[in-house]
Amino acid sequence: MPPVHDPQPPLVVGVLAVQGDVREHVRVLTALGAQPRTVRRPGELAGIQGLVIPGGESTTMDKLVRAFDLLDPLRDAIAGGLPVYGSCAGMIMLADRIVDQRADQQTLGGLDITVRRNAFGRQVDSFEEDIAFDGLVDPLHAVFIRAPWVEEVGKDVTVLARVEHGSAAGRIVAVRQGALLATSFHPEVTGDTRVHGLFVEMCRAG
């Protein structure tokens, strides 16, 4: 008889659940075969193999992360190489620098980028656009909702996507640096799982 192989253990991916569109990310991760875990307390970081920081309001997210004593544990996890994906506000949370940050605003850091909050305008200026994404054959339908953009990247940061049309053409909206991935847009709301699929692959690779 052929040897019996144990099935691949489930990939446990945390979703920071202090604020923002948590359920949408949980749904996509589940569809990709991962085992999502909502994270609100430091102890819930134990055993996860990746973390998603969802879209939401970055200043509120920052305050709640500190209120729940998550700031230092999250920074330590990032420094330790945990794969992390941030979308929209999650990108801001991962950025080392913010152009227009509030006086008391802090980030988790880790990505050597400078971001501008609400760079495309207010809620009424939200828009959708098909963009080329490095590594994907077909264009990606991107939804921008009060989104940031990246103004500067460090030498170790790979630019994955830029806006292609309009007054913001050329602006950077997706980046990767090592185990950290970030997008200005919200792939969790489009039904296209390819960005999350890339992140799941990053988590499996460790």
Instruction: List the single range of 86-95, 96-105, 165-174, 176-185 with lowest mean pLDDT.
Output: 96-105
Please write the tens of the pLDDT for every residue from 183-205: 999 999 999 999 999 999 999 99
Flag whether 5 is in a domain: no
Cβ proximity of 20 and 55 under 8 Å? yes
Distance (Å, rounded) from C-alpha 51 to C-alpha 45? 9
DSSP class of residue 81 equals: T
Flag whether 1 is in a domain: no
Strands 172-177 and 180-183, bridge-based pairing: antiparallel
* Mean pLDDT in residue range 169-181: 97
Flag whether 28 is in a domain: yes
CA 14 to chain centre: 12
Spatial CA neighbour of 129 closest among 183, 165, 98, 157: 165
* Mean pLDDT in residue range 26-51: 97
Flag whether 197 is in a domain: yes
CA 151 to chain centre: 17
CATH number of the domain that 16 lies in? 3.40.50.880
Number of domains in the chain: 1
Spatial CA neighbour of 108 closest among 98, 99, 117: 98
CA distances to 20, 26, 46, 128 from 188, rounded to whole Å, are 12, 9, 25, 13
pLDDT band at 124 (very low <50, low <70, confident <90, very high): very low
Tell me which residues are annotated as active site: 88, 186, 188
Flag whether 151 is in a domain: yes
Flag whether 3 is in a domain: no
* Mean pLDDT in residue range 157-186: 95
Cβ proximity of 33 and 13 under 8 Å? no
Residue 129 has pLDDT above 70, yes or no: yes
Residue matched to tokens 């007054």:
167
Flag whether 2 is in a domain: no
Distance (Å, rounded) from C-alpha 176 to C-alpha 185? 14
Q: Which domain holds residue 190?
A: 12-205
**Mean per-residue pLDDT of the chain:** 92
Flag whether 43 is in a domain: yes
